[in-house]
A and B are shown apart, each in its own frame.
Chain A
Amino acid sequence: MAELVDEMEELAEAVSESTRALVAQSPEGVGWKALLELGWFELAGEDPRLATGVLGEELGRAALASRALDAAVVHALEQAGAPVVAEQSHAVLYPLPSSPGAGQLFADGSAELDGLFLGGVEPGDKILAFVTDPAGQPAVVRLAPVEPSEVAGLDGADARVRAGRLTGRSAAVLDRLAPEHARLALRTARRALAYQLVGAAEECLRIAVTHVSERHQFGRPIGSYQAVKHRLADVRVAIAAARSVLAGSWDESDQTELTVLVATSLAKKAVQTAVAHGLQVCGGMGFTEEFPLAPLVRRAQFFAPFLGSAAELGMETARLLKACGTAPRISGFGTP
């Protein structure tokens, strides 16, 4: 047992190292090909929790552009028997903020699209899109390839995320995935996002802890003041909360959807808490562009409403609780 634990820790460390190296070498972002070369999909096949967690956290810390969400979605779909192949580069079209889908599907099979790609689209990418079906239900469809020229760059909130917007009527819906695959795709994307947010929150906290330990005012480090300490302690607590539920979300359970929803809420809260307190305790320094907080704050802003704002995730949680008729006990000991 102890040996197994040691081996798992060694593997986790090796994966972290190679992921960190990849992130460090990829200032323009981590594309599909880089993930294939890293062996990410094989690792995800063996240990999806480790693969998703390490990649997400490292990307989050670096506030880098990537195709990590797309890769996680396609990998999970392939494992579940949906008609996608991870060998093939895929780009996923996500809903715009405050929108239930990245487009509307009509009864004649056509679709009007308006959604976001993350991390850039390459020529020849297979396309998946989160859309709303004619009955108003969420669905995931496969679309014909999109020319990169059709995708408008979005540099507004966070240029480093390399988001692109695809707008317009498209008749080229190839097919629609099964409803359980559509749900799997959404929770997989949310969980991969949650790891990036946890990584970003950790990095904010690291920067803030370093700053308040070094910065002196009134003859002492400002981190010795309780008012400062308690803010950063709250960041540590918020991150720990998100981490624990994320870890629990990989358990065999019939409540995975709810658990991932809760984990996503907690990760969003963690990064917002980290940004709010980080900006405050880093004072005037933190307000300059050269200080390392800026890209993380922008990333947190960009992702705040992505795949559901805190308020939307809360309402979705309330609806699921109502449907359960109870407050489910996620993952206990022994018999559920």
Chain B
Amino acid sequence: MASQEVDAPNVLEWLRAHSDTLQDCNPRRTDSLDDRIDRSLEFFARLDAAGLTGWGWPAESGGRGGSAELRAELYDAITAAGFGMPEQVGALEVLGSALVAHNPGIASRYLPELLAGRALWCQGFSEPEAGSDLASLRTRAVRDGQGWRITGQKVWTSLGHRSNWCGVLARTGAPDSRHRGLTLFWVDLQAAGVDVRPLLTLTGEEEFSEVFLDGVYVPSDHMIGPVDGGWGVAMDLLQYERGMWAWQRQAIMHSTLSGLIAELDESDALTASIVAEAYISLTALRMRCRETVKRLAAGERLGPEVSIDKILLGQTEHLVNDAVRAVRERGFAIGDSAEARTERAEWFYSRAATVYGGAAEVQRNIVAERVLGLPREAARG
């Protein structure tokens, strides 16, 4: 349907045809995080120069138009053509849709520079005391003339130390206003009062950061959505986090699993069954996310059932990375090669999939209470 509306190019064909010349900017999984980011920026710059980014983003917001399905197609094509997933994609998918829907002016200013490989974004939602219970966050924004001053601390901000812009969810209402008193701001991380400190994670990389905000000034046109309307925007954005984010993860995992098949000895029933189980779960994730992406692209508002996608994602991340460990057992345990290090790092990263974006337990509560209609716990507010 998408390709009927606009004449989008065949990215997969182009990537395959230019595979050799693009290898110097392939964000390979074995590269260090900083190298991956550098290459990701260059990769997007080359795609942009060839007119291949921006499809599936509205033209009035700095994209090239067409259905959001074109974005899903791009992420599949990148990994199917043998490239690593560019590091921008995660935050782009999570924040981009919120910008487009709630502040097209900001979107048209900043989306093109990300799509051209000149910027990186990050998400400032979680805090030390507000993880799955996001509505309890404490970072405050107070009015200052025409703008706002934000003070507080964010954590688990992926790629924070390399990002230019951060979507910061802050409290604009009373301290006890919970989800009713939150606003989403578009914050320049080069602004005075911002201090970003990378954190070493179990993957062995500084994948995420702490972001300290001390009276950081944000002009009022940098609000994403209305004052005290941040929760609605965040919920909007979480549909994308659970739908399109999961889609780009399944694209990556198909490449990971494909890499194992050549080494798989099907007469080893134990290992073969572990790989098969991973593939079965991965196919379920792909088909589920495809339905979700189609619904998002059609402008449907998704309900609590997207938590099913998130649960399938977490389960599949575990199974696929356990399959890698099962097939390459010795290298995984004692290998020193870049490949073995990467596999261990990715295995650790897969454990985060049942934690980030609302822990697996919280997702199960949502499915139980809001999809199945089971009674709520009395004690919970």
Q: Which residues of B are found within 8 Å of A242, using beta-carbon distances?
A: 284
State how many angstroms separate the Cβ of B372 from the closest Cβ of chain A.
5
Q: A237-B367, A244-B288, A314-B276 are in contact. Are A327 and B261 (CB under 8 A)?
A: yes
Partner-contacting stretch, out of A20-28, A80-88, A90-98, A222-230: A222-230
Closest to A209 in B: B372
Q: Which of B72, B260, B273, B372 contacts A314 (CB 8 A)?
A: B273
The 7 closest A-B pairs by CB, nearest first: A229-B368, A241-B284, A318-B272, A244-B287, A327-B257, A233-B364, A233-B367
- Say yes or no: A321-B69 contact (C-beta < 8 A), given A244-B284, A327-B261: no
B109 within 8 A of A: no
Choose the segment among A120-128, A144-152, A259-267, A289-297 that binds chain B (4+ C-beta atoms closer than 8 Å). A259-267
Which residue on B lies nearest to A224, using beta carbons? B375
Q: How does the 8 Å CB contact mask read for A315-336 relative to B, with 1 for contact and 0 for none?
A: 1011101101111011111110
Q: A262-B280, A266-B280, A332-B290 are in contact. Are A326 and B374 (CB under 8 A)?
A: no
Does A44 reach chain B (CB closer than 8 Å)? no
- B276 engages A236 (CB within 8 Å): no
Measured between beta carbons, the chain B residues less than 8 angstroms from A65 are none
Expressed in whole angstroms, the Cα–Cα distance for A262 and B285 within the complex equals: 12
Asked if A325 and B73 make an inter-chain contact with CB atoms under 8 angstroms apart, the answer reads: no
Q: Label chain B's interface by main secondary structure.
A: helix
A contact residues around B288 at 8 Å (CB) = 240-241, 244
CB contact between B279 and one of A212, A229, A325, A327 (< 8 Å): that residue = A327
Name 28 A/B residue pairs within 8 A (Cβ), A-sorted. A213-B373, A213-B374, A220-B375, A224-B376, A226-B377, A230-B364, A233-B367, A233-B368, A240-B312, A247-B291, A262-B284, A266-B280, A314-B272, A318-B264, A318-B266, A318-B272, A321-B264, A327-B254, A327-B260, A329-B80, A329-B254, A329-B286, A332-B72, A332-B76, A333-B69, A333-B293, A335-B12, A335-B73
B49 cross-chain contacts in A, Cβ below 8 A = none
Which residues of chain B have C-beta atoms less than 8 A from A240's C-beta?
288, 305, 308, 312
Contact partners of B363 in chain A: CB under 8 A: 233
B308 A236 Cβ-Cβ under 8 A: yes
A259 to B287: give the CA distance in the assembly, Å: 10
Chain A nearest CB: distance from B159 CB in Å?
A: 27
**B283 at the A/B interface (Cβ < 8 Å)?**
yes
| Interface bin, chain B | 35 or more
Pairwise interchain contact A322-B264, C-beta atoms closer than 8 A: yes
Is B374 within 8 A of A232, CB to CB?
yes
Instruction: Report yes or no: B277 in contact with A333, Cβ–Cβ below 8 A.
Output: no
**Chain B residues positioned under 8 Å from A326 (CB to CB):** 258, 261
| B361 / chain A contacts, CB cutoff of 8 Å | 226, 230
Query: What's the tally of chain A residues with a CB closer than 8 Å to chain B?
Result: 48
B residues at A contact (CB < 8 Å)? 2-3, 8, 10, 12-13, 69-70, 72-73, 76, 80, 251, 254, 257-258, 260-262, 264, 266, 269, 272-273, 275-277, 279-288, 290-291, 293, 305, 308, 311-312, 315, 361, 363-365, 367-369, 371-378
Contact partner, A226, options B275, B277, B365, B378, Cβ 8 Å: B365
CA distance A245 to B284 in the complex (A): 6
Q: Is the CB of B261 within 8 A of A321?
A: yes
Interface 1/0s, chain A 250-269, versus B by CB < 8 A?
Answer: 00000000010010011000
Compute how far the CA of A327 lies from the CA of B258 in the bound complex, rounded to whole angstroms.
Answer: 5
Q: Output the least CB separation between B308 and chain A (Å).
A: 5
Question: Do B365 and A232 touch (CB < 8 A)?
Answer: no
Q: Which of B12, B275, B279, B378 has the most CB of A within 10 A?
A: B279
Interchain CA distance A129-B290 in the complex, whole Å: 37
Cross-chain contact B276 with A209 (CB below 8 angstroms): no
A230 and B290 form a contact (CB under 8 A): no
Distance from A316 Cβ to chain B, minimum over Cβ atoms (Å): 8
A318 to chain B minimum Cβ distance, whole angstroms, is: 4
When the two chains form the complex, which single residue of A324, A330, A332 contacts B261, counting CB atoms closer than 8 Å?
A324
Find A212's partner among B10, B258, B374, B376 (CB 8 Å cutoff). B374
Query: Are B371 and A236 closer than 8 Å at their CB atoms?
Result: yes
Give the nearest-CB partner of A235 in chain B: B372
Alpha-carbon separation in the docked complex, A326 to B275 (Å): 12
A153 near B: Cβ within 8 Å? no
Taking CB atoms, residues of chain B closer than 8 Å to A220 are 375, 378
Cα distance A234–B361 when bound, in Å?
Answer: 11
- Asked if A236 contacts B367 (CB within 8 A), the reply is yes
Give Cα A205 to B374, complex, Å: 12
Could you tell me if A317 and B280 are in contact, using CB atoms closer than 8 angstroms? yes
Residue with the greatest number of chain B CB neighbours at <10 A, chosen from A232, A240, A241, A333: A333
CB distance from B274 to the nearest CB of A (A): 9
Residues of A within 8 A of B376 (CB): 224
With contacts A226-B377, A230-B364 taken as known, whether A315 is within 8 angstroms of B279 at the C-beta atoms is no
Give the residues in chain B near A333, CB-CB below 8 Å. Answer: 2, 69-70, 72-73, 76, 290, 293
Q: How far is the CA of A113 from the CA of B195 in the complex (A)?
A: 77
Q: Chain A residues with Cβ under 8 A from B260's Cβ?
A: 327
Query: Within 8 Å CB of A209, what residues of B?
Result: 372-374
Kindly report which residue of chain B lies nearest to residue A266, judged by CB atoms.
B284
Which residues of the other chain, A, contact B282 by a CB distance below 8 angstroms? Answer: 327
- Does A330 contact B373, Cβ atoms closer than 8 Å? no
Give A325 to B251 CA distance when docked, in angstroms.
17
